[in-house]
Amino acid sequence: MARRYDTRTTIFSPEGRLYQVEYAMEAISHAGTSLGILATDGILLAAERRNTNKLLDEVFFSEKIYKLNDDMVCSVAGITSDANVLTNELRLIAQRYLLQYGESIPCEQLVSWLCDVKQAYTQYGGKRPFGVSILYMGWDKHYGYQLYQSDPSGNYGGWKATCIGNNSAAAVSSLKQEYKENETTLAEAQALAIKVLSKTLDMTKLTPEKVEMATLTRKNDKTVIRILTSTEVEKLIANFEKSEAEAEAAKKQAPKS
């Protein structure tokens, strides 16, 4: 039944669905996980790196995390080539705003603008939608730290913690339980991110090569964006494994008493 209505992106199905958009989201659900958490003193994005083939030449420093301007960073999940096009466009949008208004673009404006572009691909032109979901983290003087998510339909929302990509539903429910609004510091958020990632990753063991993490904070009236080094990621993973081991040991001891 769907066959007749999904060869063109710009047609509704009889049940009122846009199949191409849904197929795009399906593509993303098979891609590497990306999650974001808003903390009281900053924001972080963490992502699962899929291309860990030893033969891959290490050219760029980050596979899934892109800096957009001085105050915003994004992380992608989905088709990498589509993601490159969109992040390039995001950077251009941000610079054009800076040129026109002489100040940094507010976070929601940037997200909103790109989402209008994404929406156009679901309504005009006969082109397929972009197979990318994006998580944005940023700071602006209007609303402080913000975390946004956008998807191929051009829909976006502001979040306190969210996840996209493989096993994102499990990750989101895990975050829902563990995340404490207005009480989570950046350090706690980092630990939480590692915990959630370890559950969503296909492999059972987390290694620094498989994880990318970036944090955004404010210091001295300037935004500080940091991509964590593999040593720092390794330390976070080590701490996580230690607390897991302690929890296991505690469980084993408890029934005795």
Residues at the interface with other proteins (CB under 8 A)? 60-61, 67-69, 88, 91-92, 95-96, 98-99, 102
CB of 95 to other proteins, least distance (A): 5
Q: Which tokens hold the place of 94?
A: 């941000």
CB of 69 to other proteins, least distance (A): 7
CB of 141 to other proteins, least distance (A): 19
8 burial class (0-12, 13-18, 19+ CB within 10 angstroms)?
Answer: exposed
User: Which residue, 127 or 222, has its beta carbon nearer to other proteins?
Assistant: 222
User: Which residue, 128 or 226, has its beta carbon nearer to other proteins?
Assistant: 226
CB of 93 to other proteins, least distance (A): 11
User: Which residue, 21 or 74, has its beta carbon nearer to other proteins?
Assistant: 74
From CA 197, how far away is CA 180, in angstroms rounded? Answer: 18
User: Which residue, 69 or 122, has its beta carbon nearer to other proteins?
Assistant: 69
From CA 186, how far away is CA 33, in angstroms rounded? Answer: 20
| Strands 156-158 and 34-39, sheet pairing | unpaired
Q: How far is CA 249 from CA 96, 112, 176, 179, 243, in A?
A: 56, 48, 26, 24, 10
User: Which residue, 68 or 216, has its beta carbon nearer to other proteins?
Assistant: 68
